[in-house]
Amino acid sequence: MLILVLNQKESACLLSSDFRSENPPTQTRPFHTLTVGNNVRKPMNRVLIIFLIIGFYSCGEKQKSEKKSESVGIEKAVSELKDFELVQDFEKNKAEFETNTIDLFGHSSEGGELTIFHDKKFDYVVYDFWLYGELGRLNYTYWTEKNGKLNFKLVKQLEYNYNKPFYQEGFKTDSTISYLSYSDSKIKLFDINKTEITESELIEKSKSELESFFSDLTKGIEIKK
């Protein structure tokens, strides 16, 4: 009997918690690891958002800069137009100009007119003269700077000559064209083929004639500059 009591006490003392290797306690480390991951992810999200904002801002500034550069390039190109580029630009954009037409009396047997082409988008004004007569007609076109001083940039001189009065049957027409350029410090004269004429006497004669023509035909006419 005594031996049986001792065996019961020993059995009572052998609790299941004493066997560590068979039932290890629940590990909580994975939960701590997950918590640390969330804490790291939040600052990284903030950094990503900041980079995205900076990227969008930089892209917007680049587009603004490109548009500004393009605008400056266009304005610069227009302001540098000279000689035959002016003729081409005017012919291309003629419909965009506002016009004022003035009748010219007392300068030719069949009358004439002056049409002024102007628009705020262009840095030049065009004065287009037509005079009509029995033995021909002329068309002088002046490109001037848009500064209120009527500084000439280019003049196109076009003349039509008839071999007999236009009201007679079978009259024939001959035409001549020349250009006088004021774009450079030295005034230049060009023929119908846009070849430069270097004879100083012809240049001076053409300059004097065209400037006097403009002055005489606009005398007494109020031109808004």
Per this entry, what is the length of the chain? 225
Residue 15 lies in a domain: no
Do both 198 and 96 map to the same domain? yes
Residue 36 lies in a domain: no
For residue 155, what pLDDT is reported? 98
Q: Which residues contact 121 (CB under 8 A, 6 or more apart)?
A: 96
Residue 178 lies in a domain: yes
Residue 40 lies in a domain: no
* Residues 48-66 as b or e (16 or more Cβ within 10 Å = b): eeeeeeeeeeeeeeeeeee
Do both 65 and 127 map to the same domain? no
The token duo for 135 is 């033995």
Residue 18 lies in a domain: no
Q: Taking a C-beta distance cutoff of 8 angstroms, is the pair 187, 155 a contact?
A: no
- Which ranges of the chain have pLDDT less than 50? 1-37, 40, 68-79
Do both 162 and 198 map to the same domain? yes
Do both 192 and 172 map to the same domain? yes
Task: Select from 80, 97, 120 the last residue of a domain.
Answer: 80
CA–CA gap between residue 99 and residue 90 (Å, rounded) = 13
| Nearest residue to 167 (alpha-carbon basis) of 136, 143, 193, 198 | 136
Do both 116 and 65 map to the same domain? no
Task: Select from 27, 62, 80 the last residue of a domain.
Answer: 80
CA–CA gap between residue 86 and residue 181 (Å, rounded) = 11
Do both 71 and 100 map to the same domain? no
Do both 178 and 76 map to the same domain? no
For residue 185, what pLDDT is reported? 86
Q: Taking a C-beta distance cutoff of 8 angstroms, is the pair 137, 165 a contact?
A: no
Task: Select from 29, 63, 80 the last residue of a domain.
Answer: 80
Do both 93 and 195 map to the same domain? yes
pTM beyond 0.85: no
Residue 186 lies in a domain: yes
Do both 195 and 95 map to the same domain? yes
Number of domains in the chain: 2
- Greatest pairwise CA separation for the chain in angstroms: 164
Residue 39 lies in a domain: no
Alpha helices in the chain (DSSP H): 2-13, 29-79, 84-93, 200-217
Do both 89 and 200 map to the same domain? yes
Residue 16 lies in a domain: no
Q: Where in the sequence is the domain holding 130, given as residue range(s)?
A: 84-217
Do both 100 and 206 map to the same domain? yes
For residue 164, what pLDDT is reported? 94
Q: Taking a C-beta distance cutoff of 8 angstroms, is the pair 187, 200 a contact?
A: no
For residue 174, what pLDDT is reported? 96
Do both 176 and 212 map to the same domain? yes
